[in-house]
Every structure is written in structure tokens, then in C-alpha cells.
Amino acid sequence: MADALTPITSRCRFGRTMRDTHFMLAPTYTPLNHGSFGTYPKPVQKRLHECQTLSEARPDNFQRYDYPVMLDRSRAAMASFLNVPVDEVVFVPNATTAINVVLENLRFKKGEVILHLSTLYGSVAKMIEYIHETRGVESVNVAVEYPIDDDVLVSRFQTAINDVKDGKRRRVGVAIFDTISSLPGVRVPWERLVEVCREENVLSLVDGAHGVGQIDLGLSKVQPDFFTSNCHKWLYVPRACAVFHVPRRNQHLIRTSLPTSHGFVPRPRGPGHEIMNPLMKDSSSTSPFALLFEFVATLDVSPYLCIEEALRFRREVCGGEEKIMRYCEEISSEAGRQAAEILGTGVMENGTKMLTKCAFTNVRLPLEIGDGPEQIPEKDMYLVAVWMTAMLVRESDIYSPVFFHARRFWTRLSGQVYLDLGDFEKGARALKTLCDRAKSGEYLQQKARL
């Protein structure tokens, strides 16, 4: 694997050279967790500040006249990157917002349920609970414990849809699943799940929070009903910016943004109910869907306007998408093997080696759950994960999330162009020391510090 990494590194100057030259990370910080909040290079920061300066120089002029034109350019660049029509692409602050928009806009009929995998992101799970509390919509959880082969996962998904339909006057209204799940960080066979949804006449809502910039999505071929992805994770765009893609066939289902704003078009109610748009914009050249999300409350929209600069950096400095994705996947996989060797454990992978076809690798930590010597009591699992993650960053200036899945402790490693194998070795050795300290019960002594 080292040989596979070497030519990419020398050609594109990935690793420490990329970090020192183009990124703003603190010299002592070891960021093994790009997947959570991402970061962006100096040219993108320059563009961000330029847009913020323009906004403050002439606030009204910028918000009313300049920003819509600049936003359309960003939308066009993003649409071209995804190979989808520009009138199907808008921006929202994050993927959570887009998923909330879809669930709030759908009008669930009696007996319709929400289907989801058990590994969905925590805020999305709580969103589903909110929909249940406020609208009575039931949900069905498809249990997934990794490692699991893609065929098994797809079969369980199909079976869950069939079980909902069988003799209970119910049907799945919408199914929610990831392109790449968060914890554990594994690639999901989302393309096949979209196909199952299409065959079963179920709306597919794809949480691609980790998708754009990490994997080749092939969105125009897969054609999900709703898709969103954070651009501020893997695409090198500042926080907060996410793309929200809704094909024309489904745009009539999205009646409002969240919060409802000036782009909302009320159904006619007769004279006296007209509502003036204070932005006073000629919207004849903008599609209703795009207009709906053009101005939503008063936000710092500068990150939306950094798409072109981020794509330029990826193309001209990094050598293009294929090189970025290949390096991140390869270094993630090699780092996982190296860390597993240091820890004396293994990586999370299935029989067809599909889980790690991305820039994430999950490495098992040498901690056992139980009541015996040097074991972690089940009641302390969450506390240990929180303690180890906090100590890792406070004491070593390293961040790598510690979590538990299927009654085992793991850490998730993110491959990125500014990392080299030495960064991951440093993280693995620090984690090994912390595991020994956790076995001795040290986390109980420092509980108050968390």
C-alpha cells in the first residue's frame, strides 16, 4: 500500500506539504476527524472574506442585487459537478436542514410510515421522533450491525418494506438512508436501496452528508427522490453549506423552506391576501424551487459563494477528483491496518470489502465489555467513549472519535489530503495508552472534568 500512495504523494504533494502550504491547521494539532466538520484551504478562505467584505461594503446592494447573481453561479458550478440540471440544485446550511425540509413538507397519508436504517445520524433520528410526536407518523427501524455484507443489508431493507405492507393497511411513505454513515463511518449500498425504493413506489431520501467530495456519486444515474450533502465536510467549502437536490418531478412536494421565507408562494385566497416581497426582485428568470431557497432568513451566505473556488482548488492544486478520492481512500485503508496492528485488533470490513470504499476506516479498540478485571462495565460504555475522546484531544492535541457499535469500542479515521501515515501512527499509539488507562478505571476519577 505504501507503494500505491507514493506516486500520488509525489505528484500532488499530498500529506504534510499540502497541509503546511495550503491549510490553516494548528502546527501541533493532529486532525484525524475531517468527516465531522471538515476544513478548507487558504484560497477558499480568501474568497470567503471577499464575499463577506462585499456584503458589508454595501449591504442592501449585495443582498438584493449582487448575491442572487453570485448564487446562481455557485448553483451552476455545483450542478455541473453533480451532473444534474441547475434548476434542481439549491443550498441550505447543512444536510440536517434539508432532511428537515423534506419531512416537514411531506403530507403523510394515513398508514404511511418512515423507514430508516438503525445507523442513521442522531439528529435525523430525533427529527423522526419529532414528526411522530407532532403528526403521529410511525417509523420502522431496520437493524444494522456492522460488519454486514451489502447483499444482507439490501435484503433486510426489502424485507422491512414487505413486512410493512403485509396485511396491515400500511405502506412506506419515505425511506431515509446514508451514502456513507457517520458512526460507524462505512459506505452504504445506497444506490441499490434507491432502486428498491423505486421498484416499491417509495420515496427515497438520501442523507449524503459525507458524499460530495468523498465518493463518486453518479447522481444523475441513481436518481434518488431527494438528496442532500454537506459541502463543508469533504468539498473544502466553509461551514455552513450543503447542497439540496430535488428532481423536477418532486419539486411540487417542497412547498416551503425552513423557516418559511419570501420565496414561498401561497395558494390564492382572493383579494386582500396578497403579500409583498420586500426584496422587490424580478423573479421571472428564477425557477420557483430555486427562489424558495434563495433568501431564507438573514444568514451569512458567503459559504454558498465559495463553491467555484473550492472546485478550482481541487482541480488545479490537488489534481482533480480522482486523485483526491484515491489518495483519501488509500491512506485511510493503510492507516486502519497500521492502527489495528499497533492496537492488536482489526478493522471493520465485510466479506466483499465494500465498507471501506470511501475515506473512512473504523478500527476496533482493545477494550472488552464485562464485569471482569480490566473490562468496561456496560453501564460505563458511553462514559468511557466520552472520556477517551476528550483526553485524546486535551492531552495529545489529537482528535479521533471513540464510539461503540455492536458492543465493541471503535475509533473512526478520516483520510485526507493533508495527512500522512505518521499522523495516524501518532493517534493509534495515543489511543493504545488511553485504552490501558481506561482498563484501570481512570475515567471514573476524572468523570467530573467531562
Cell of 236: 473544502
Rounded-to-integer distance, Cα 222 and Cα 214, Å: 17
Residue ranges in 253-366 assigned as alpha helix (H): 288-294, 307-312, 321-343
Rounded-to-integer distance, Cα 350 and Cα 357, Å: 11
Q: Could you tell me if 348 and 362 are in contact, meaning their C-beta atoms sit under 8 angstroms apart?
A: yes
Rounded-to-integer distance, Cα 240 and Cα 273, Å: 35
Strand partners, 30: 398
Give the residue from 120, 186, 208 showing the smallest Cα distance to 356: 186
What are the pLDDT tens digits along the chain (450 aa)? 333 443 434 445 899 999 999 999 999 999 999 999 999 999 999 999 999 999 999 999 999 999 999 999 999 999 999 999 999 999 999 999 999 999 999 999 999 999 999 999 999 999 999 999 999 999 999 999 999 999 999 999 999 999 999 867 799 999 999 999 999 999 999 999 999 999 999 999 999 999 999 999 999 999 999 999 999 999 999 999 999 999 999 999 999 999 999 888 888 877 766 776 776 666 666 788 999 999 898 889 999 999 999 999 999 999 999 999 999 999 999 999 999 999 999 999 999 999 999 999 999 999 999 999 999 999 999 999 999 999 999 999 999 999 999 999 999 999 999 999 999 999 999 999 999 999 999 999 876 565
Rounded-to-integer distance, Cα 357 and Cα 229, Å: 18
Strands (E), 221-304: 226-230, 242-245
Q: At a CB cut-off of 8 Å and minimum separation 6, what does 107 contact?
A: none
Rounded-to-integer distance, Cα 40 and Cα 316, Å: 15
**Exposure string over 214-237, b if 16+ CB within 10 A, otherwise e:** bbebebeebbbbbbbbbbbbbbbb
pTM to 2 decimals?
Answer: 0.93
Rounded-to-integer distance, Cα 140 and Cα 294, Å: 34
